[in-house]
């Protein structure tokens, strides 16, 4: 239990907007062990990014955050900006979606990495330079000495994302959060970056949380998967259990997402199933299950009372009154 690196318990984040309360994250719990990969999957607005930003202390002032997030037993929620600064970079780091805008266009990439190194460690300029080049080599950038002196606009998207990862790794964080880190890249680059992240994770023993809307990515790279919907975790299980041979997806929402992925073996010219409708307005969530209005198997009890996230099978939790039978492949 306590060998977890990051323990998030009952995290809740709420904003006030237009005189109404918006519950962006509503009671989320998970934990990540060192060297493991957790995928947080969900549609836009499901609270996956907000939850992680709350942990990093990146939400604007005036956001109500409750619950707990312990990194190595240190409570992060409620820390001031200056207290958090000690943990940021050295204990946890984050990689963002848009590599084009994650680097300062007016600064050479090498300078940006050395700056990240020198904020936490007292090292000389030339040592920092050597470390930065070493980092560039670590993220597989060819000719790192030359790239060191280049500006971001001289690099391709995949290359930039590698630089951003190098910056995040500058102080060897124990936890790396990749927020849609591969979404803006094309599919081959995406695979390279994911491979790189996993390799680095193995070498450095980091825990990796990657936030994505891509179930396929989670299936291929994650150890543990958390599926979020309307601010709540609706299903949580080891990736193997969900997507492995004879996968047993229980929650109807996860199933619907899986079905919406095009497959080669699907009969030609059949209509691709989609999840109809849109996620509920987070300021007025339904009383019952949030997914009920879009769920094909919704019954009366779904609208009446929200199902709780319960551990029905070892390591597998889901929140559904009418879970799929046999993985619901039918």
Partner 1 sequence: MAAQLPDMTAATLTAGGQPPLPSLVSARALRWQKVSRALRLWVPAALLIALLFLCFVWPYIYSIPPGDSGSILDAALPPFSPGHWLGTDPNGVDIFSMLVYGGQVSFEISLAVTAFGMIVGGTIGLTAGYFGGWADSILSRVVDVLIAFPALVLVLAVAEVLQPSETHLIWALSVFSVPAFARVTRGATLTVRNLPFITASRLTGTSNWKIIFKHVLPNVIPGIVTFSLLGIGIIVILEGAVDFLGLGIQIPQPSWGAMIAKGQNVLTAEPQYVLIPSIVLLIFVMSLNLLGDALRERWGVR
Q: Which residues bind partner 1 (CB under 8 A)?
A: 56, 58, 61, 85-86, 88-90, 93-94, 96-98, 101-107, 115-116, 119-120, 164, 167-168, 170-171
State the nearest-atom distance from the C-beta of 40 to partner 1, in Å. Answer: 18
Nearer Cβ to partner 1 (196/303): 196
In degrees and rounded to multiples of 5, residue 219 shows phi and psi of: -60, -40
Written as six digits, the tokens of 205 are 């023993």
Partners of 31 in the β-ladder? 7
| Residue at token pair 């699907």 | 266
Q: Which is nearer to partner 1, 102 or 236 (CB)?
A: 102
Cβ-based nearer residue to partner 1, 139 or 168: 168
Residue 163's nearest CA partner among 212, 236, 114 is 114
CA distances from 12 to 34, 50, 144, 159, 162 (A): 24, 10, 43, 36, 32
Q: How far is the CB of 107 from partner 1 (least distance, A)?
A: 7
> Residue 105 or 246: which CB sits closer to partner 1?
105
Nearer to partner 1, 152 or 282 (CB): 152
CB of 298 to partner 1, least distance (A): 38
Minimum distance between the CB of residue 104 and partner 1, rounded to whole angstroms? 5
Question: How far apart are CB 66 and partner 1 at their closest, in Å?
Answer: 22
Smaller CB distance to partner 1: residue 148 or 229?
Answer: 148
Spatial strand order in the sheet of 224-229: 92-95, 175-179, 207-212, 37-41, 224-229, 232-238, 316-318, 310-313
Closest approach of partner 1 to the CB of residue 93, in Å:
6
Number of H helices, E strands in the chain: 11, 12
Least Å from the CB of residue 62 to partner 1 = 9
Name the minimum Å distance from CB 135 to partner 1. Answer: 12
Residue 285 vs residues 24, 171, 220: alpha-carbon distances, Å = 11, 41, 32
For partner 1, the closer of residues 85 and 137 by Cβ is 85
**CA gap 133, 260 in Å, rounded:** 43
Cβ-based burial of 330 (10 A; exposed 0-12, middle 13-18, buried ≥19): exposed
150 burial via Cβ count (<10 Å: 0-12, 13-18, 19+): middle
> By three-state DSSP, how is residue 79 classified?
coil
**In the complex with partner 1, which residue's Cβ is closer, 116 or 292?**
116
Residue 10 CA from chain centroid, whole number: 17
């Amino acid at each position: 239990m306590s060998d977890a690196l990051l323990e998030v318990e009952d995290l809740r984040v709420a904003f006030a907007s237009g005189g109404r309360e918006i519950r962006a994250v509503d009671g989320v719990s998970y934990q990540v062990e060192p060297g493991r990969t957790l995928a947080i999957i969900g549609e836009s607005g499901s609270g996956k990014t907000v939850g992680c930003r709350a942990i990093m202390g990146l939400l604007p002032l005036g956001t109500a955050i409750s619950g707990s997030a312990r990194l190595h037993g240190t409570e992060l929620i409620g820390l001031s900006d200056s207290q958090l600064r000690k943990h940021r970079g050295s204990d946890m780091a984050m990689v963002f979606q848009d590599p084009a805008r994650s680097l300062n266009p007016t600064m050479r990439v090498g300078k940006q990495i050395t700056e990240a190194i020198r904020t936490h460690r007292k090292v000389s300029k030339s040592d920092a330079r050597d470390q930065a080049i070493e980092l560039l080599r670590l993220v597989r950038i060819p000719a790192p000495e030359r790239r060191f002196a280049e500006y971001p606009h001289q690099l391709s998207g995949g290359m930039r994302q590698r630089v951003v990862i190098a910056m995040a790794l500058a102080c060897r964080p124990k936890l790396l959060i990749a927020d849609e880190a591969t979404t803006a890249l094309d599919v081959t680059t995406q695979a390279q970056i994911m491979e790189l992240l996993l390799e680095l994770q193995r070498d450095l023993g980091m825990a990796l949380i990657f936030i994505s809307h891509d179930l396929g990515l989670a299936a291929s790279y994650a150890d543990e998967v958390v599926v979020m919907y309307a601010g709540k975790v609706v299903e949580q299980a080891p990736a193997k259990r969900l997507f492995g041979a004879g996968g047993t997806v229980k929650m109807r929402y996860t199933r619907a997402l899986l079905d919406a992925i095009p497959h080669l073996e699907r009969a030609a010219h059949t209509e691709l199933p989609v999840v109809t409708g849109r996620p509920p307005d987070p300021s007025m969530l339904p009383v019952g299950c949030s997914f009920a209005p879009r769920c094909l198997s919704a019954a009366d009890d779904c609208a009446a009372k929200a199902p709780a996230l319960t551990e029905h099978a070892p390591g597998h939790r889901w929140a559904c009154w009418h879970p799929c039978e046999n993985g619901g492949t039918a």
